[in-house]
Amino acid sequence: MAVSDRQAILKIAVPVPQQRGEVLIYDYLAGPAIGAPAGSIVQIPLGARHVWGLVMEASDTSQLAAEKLKSVLMLADVPPLDAQTLQFLKQVSRWTLAPFGSVMRLLLNTPEALLPPPEQPVFTLPEEDKSKDNLSISRPLADVRLTPQRQRVYDFLKMAPPLSATEIARETGVSSGVITAMHKSGLLQKQMAVRGERAPILSPDQLTQARKSFILSDEQQQVADAIAAKGDDQFSAHLLDGVTGSGKTEVYFDSVARVAATARQVLILLPEIALTRAWQDRFEKRFGFRPALWHSSVSNAKRRALWRQVAEGQPLIVAGARSALFLPFPKLGLIIVDEEHDASYKQEDMTAYQARDMALLRAKITDIPIVLASATPSLESWVNAGAARQDKAGHKDWHQHILSSRFGQASLPAVQLVDMRLSRPPRGHWLSPDLQEALKVTLEAGQQSLLFLNRRGYAPVTLCSSCGHRLACHQCDSLLVTHRLAGRVQCHFCGISQPLSQQCPSCEEPDSLRAVGPGVERLEEEVRMLFPDAGIAILSSDTVRSASDAEAFFKAVETGDTDIIIGTQMAAKGHDFPELTLVGVIDADLGIGGGDLRAAERTYQLLWQVAGRSGRAKQKGRALIQTFQPTHPVLDALSKMHLDNPVAARDQFMQAEADARQAAAMPPFGRLAALILSSRDLSLLEATAGQLAAACPAYHGVDIFGPAPAPLSRIRGAHRMRFLVRAEKTVALQKIITEWLDKVRLPGQVRVVCDIDPYSFL
Ligand code: ADP
Ligand code: ZN
């Protein structure tokens, strides 16, 4: 070994997605990163690229000769990751079987944050001018023209901090040329400064004040106290289980304020769509400032600034979508997972992980409390918290806290099942007479309604009335969905679309295509026909695409411009519409069928949440649920929502679900993993699946099913096959899968994705 300096070699994890669940480590000469501890982020050459890697350990030896080693290029301008964050990344990789390189990328997804923030020119008044009233008095210079525009800039800068030319121009309504000209004539001074918004930080006093000034109800206070009683210096998981509108948010805000007041960092995870202005307003009302946000539409500049603030350990309260879990918090003191049952916490593409489960992992590693809030807890959390009969004790670190009634005068809506076998609307219509009448009454009372149909677009199927051809995607095993508003037909799996046409592409008969079945757009057509004067708005991922769309939508609801909301599942998430007193579910049967493990649980959660949008304020609400199977256990449980003890009615349903899962040894009582193989080359795919089948391990307590063509057998031109692995709870599932896959040489053209605890069975 030619390198003599101690610790001159760094073992660095590289962001290359190889090696399931393992860390791919290369040796580098430390160079400018000499002495960098584990967790340091460094830039390294990798092949022809420059990438960011993670120092795993310093060493004085390498297997390779020193002259073969490349050197680190640069040390990132941020503190090293703390040991627990590093540990978290390793465990996520081990649990999900995603390569460590991919997990690292979840954390290093904001590379601009790793460089020193750039400086930019800012302008200010010369100190001596600030106290003067009038430009003409202060600068009686002949060559300075005193236009009204210049006077505006001058007046503005007397009060403002140094700002960039663009910012001053925006604030004063002049062009930025005016500012440069003023600088040239000596009216303004120029400096270089680091700009960028910093997320606000409150002092412990302010936080304690915010906490004291809000009065919780007795029931809420008991729960808040019970959470506090478990202490903040060890892991504890709290299932905050309260009916919609019971004040779960207010209760967890109390925990947030309490922990933040100890100068530690707090992370609040929410489904992305729930991070609306309304939620932020509530936060602001409670804390006196807006939360730092982390989600897909936050600007790059804000992301960079927030990432750095988090890494520096500043006592922030961050509210974010699932990706916020991978921020480098060195001083995390509390995690909240709101709407913990929400399926959007499960990321399916790339690195498949369940953010709720990984949040639990992070809380465990960091030894801090975590609060999971929901009106319809996931079966997993419900069982873990000890709510299931057969496992009353639950896990010892888990606690269930129940809020059984709505806050204040609000009560849960009265749920009525509409038996569609008895009151069927005419062909091509979807509103039963009962639901029509309820809409009419609600409109006349000046209140709002929500119609729920979990289908985007105009119609799910388009059929040729002449030859029977159905419009299908040419690269997926799926039908094309008609979107009239966009004037296109679209595949919901790969996203391709083509213009709407009336001519059948198969028999070329003109004007022969017919829409079959309802989507939200078609439902809107029907509602508009019935109530031509009503304000109607669609809430779906097609109509509300951005934060600003969402703002406009919620504003129209708030001001009463919207009378009837027609929504997909986007409408189910935590929204608080005080004037909404009627919810109509168009087709409760949509989600129940099929072989999906969680179909019943998910339909129940979704419909309970939707129904729970009704009657959240003073007026009593109701929900009408249209179904062809009113005796189905899911619908039976829903119809008991408004009884004296809604939690008991729900628990009865959950218990039946739990019993069925236990009998089948399915999660959370057993373990499940899916292995999805895909390739454009069908024969290669089948051959590989065959090899894997031949190499199938035989272990006690492990069943492997497959290979079988996936229900969605083709996406984007790639054929797909699946294996399903079911194991007893005590089995080291990840180890078995790794050993199994290692036995087979997988060809490069076949992609293999492991999905531990899959939520989608397509
Ligand atoms: P959940 O999160 O359980 O659905 P929320 O926290 O949204 O319930 O509370 C429902 C409504 O009741 C909100 O408008 C909230 O501001 C109000 N509320 C809840 N608790 C209180 C309280 N202690 N004091 C005043 N308003 C409250
Ligand atoms: Zn497609």
- Tell me: the pLDDT tens digits for 625-652? 999 999 998 998 898 877 777 788 888 8
Report which of residues 317 and 67 the model is more confident about: 317
| Per-residue confidence (pLDDT) for residue 3, from 0 to 100 | 47
**CA angle (464, 468, 471) in 5-degree steps:** 60
Pocket of ligand 1 (CB under 6 A): 215-217, 220, 242, 244-250, 407, 576
Count of C-beta atoms within a 10 Å radius of residue 469: 17
712: pLDDT confidence band, cut at 50, 70 and 90? confident
* pLDDT greater than 70 at residue 561: yes
Domain count of the fold of the chain: 5
d(CA 518, CA 501): 19
Among 225, 250, 374, which is best to mutate for testing ligand 1, by the most ligand atoms less than 8 A from CB?
Answer: 250
Distance 723 CA to ligand 2 centre (A): 23
- What tokens were used for 337? 């997972």
Ligand nearest to the CA of 213: 1
Count of C-beta atoms within a 10 Å radius of residue 707: 20
Ligand nearest to the CA of 254: 1
Instruction: Pick the closest to residue 542 from 511, 505, 510, 567 (CA basis).
Output: 567
Highest mean pLDDT among 6-15, 286-295, 591-600: 286-295
* Same structural domain, 654 and 689: no
475 contacts: CB under 8 Å, gap ≥ 6: 491, 494, 496, 714, 715, 716, 717
Report which of residues 549 and 524 the model is more confident about: 524
Cβ pair 341, 378 in contact under 8 A? yes
* Same structural domain, 700 and 581: no
Nearest CA to ligand 1 atom 11: 245
d(CA 16, CA 14): 6
* pLDDT greater than 50 at residue 158: yes
Within-domain flag for 474: no
Q: What is the overall mean pLDDT for the chain? A: 89
Ligand nearest to the CA of 279: 1
Nearest CA to ligand 1 atom 23: 216
Ligand nearest to the CA of 714: 2
CATH of the domain at 80: 3.40.1440.60
Of 634, 662, 690, the domain-final residue: 662
The phi and psi torsions of 401 (rounded to 5 degrees) equal -125, 125
Strands (E) across 716-761 are located at 718-728, 751-756
Cβ pair 714, 475 in contact under 8 A? yes
What's the mean pLDDT in 534-553?
Answer: 88
Among 219, 249, 339, which is best to mutate for testing ligand 1, by the most ligand atoms less than 8 A from CB?
Answer: 249
Nearest CA to ligand 1 atom 21: 247
- What tokens were used for 466? 């002449």
* Same structural domain, 741 and 600: no
* Same structural domain, 212 and 347: yes
Distance 664 CA to ligand 2 centre (A): 34
Within-domain flag for 467: no
Of 83, 108, 133, the domain-final residue: 108
pTM: 0.87
| Per-residue confidence (pLDDT) for residue 267, from 0 to 100 | 98
What's the mean pLDDT in 136-141?
Answer: 52
Within-domain flag for 551: yes
700: pLDDT confidence band, cut at 50, 70 and 90? confident
Give the chain's largest Cα–Cα span: 95
Distance 490 CA to ligand 2 centre (A): 8
Among 212, 374, 407, which is best to mutate for testing ligand 1, by the most ligand atoms less than 8 A from CB?
Answer: 407
Nearest CA to ligand 1 atom 15: 247
For the chain, how many residues are written? 762
The phi and psi torsions of 105 (rounded to 5 degrees) equal -65, -25
Distance 383 CA to ligand 2 centre (A): 38
* pLDDT greater than 90 at residue 164: no
Percent of the chain with pLDDT over 70: 95
* pLDDT greater than 60 at residue 2: no
Within-domain flag for 644: yes
* Same structural domain, 71 and 158: no
Instruction: Pick the closest to residue 375 from 726, 620, 650 (CA basis).
Output: 650
* Same structural domain, 284 and 377: yes
Nearest CA to ligand 1 atom 4: 245
Report which of residues 19 and 613 the model is more confident about: 613
Nearest CA to ligand 1 atom 9: 247
Of 51, 85, 108, the domain-final residue: 108
Within-domain flag for 76: yes
CATH of the domain at 543: 3.40.50.300
- What tokens were used for 67? 């002259």
Q: Which atom of ligand 1 is nearest to the CA of 251?
A: 6
ω into residue 707 within 30 of 0, thus cis? yes
* pLDDT greater than 50 at residue 530: yes
Within-domain flag for 595: yes
The SS3 call for residue 268 is strand
Report which of residues 1 and 624 the model is more confident about: 624
DSSP collapsed to 3 states, 167-217: HHHHHHCCCHHHHHHHHHCCCCEEEEEECCCCCCCCCHHHHHHHHHCCCCC
Within-domain flag for 649: yes
Instruction: Pick the closest to residue 618 from 445, 437, 434, 401 (CA basis).
Output: 445
Distance 743 CA to ligand 2 centre (A): 33
Distance 586 CA to ligand 2 centre (A): 27
d(CA 726, CA 734): 12
Residue span of the structural domain in which 720 resides: 670-756
d(CA 713, CA 709): 6
Nearest CA to ligand 1 atom 18: 247
* Same structural domain, 363 and 397: yes
* pLDDT greater than 90 at residue 211: no
* Same structural domain, 611 and 701: no
* Same structural domain, 226 and 328: yes
Q: Which atom of ligand 1 is nearest to the CA of 243?
A: 3
* Same structural domain, 676 and 607: no
Segment 599-617, tens digit of pLDDT = 899 999 999 889 988 888 8
Distance 537 CA to ligand 2 centre (A): 28
CA atoms within 13 A on the CB side of 106: 27
| Per-residue confidence (pLDDT) for residue 672, from 0 to 100 | 93
| Per-residue confidence (pLDDT) for residue 1, from 0 to 100 | 42
* Same structural domain, 444 and 557: yes
Nearest CA to ligand 1 atom 5: 247
Distance 460 CA to ligand 2 centre (A): 14
| Per-residue confidence (pLDDT) for residue 142, from 0 to 100 | 52
* Same structural domain, 288 and 431: no
CA 636 from centre of chain = 31
Within-domain flag for 95: yes
The SS3 call for residue 631 is coil
Ligand nearest to the CA of 491: 2
Strands (E) across 305-437 are located at 317-320, 332-338, 346-347, 353-354, 369-374, 398-403, 414-419
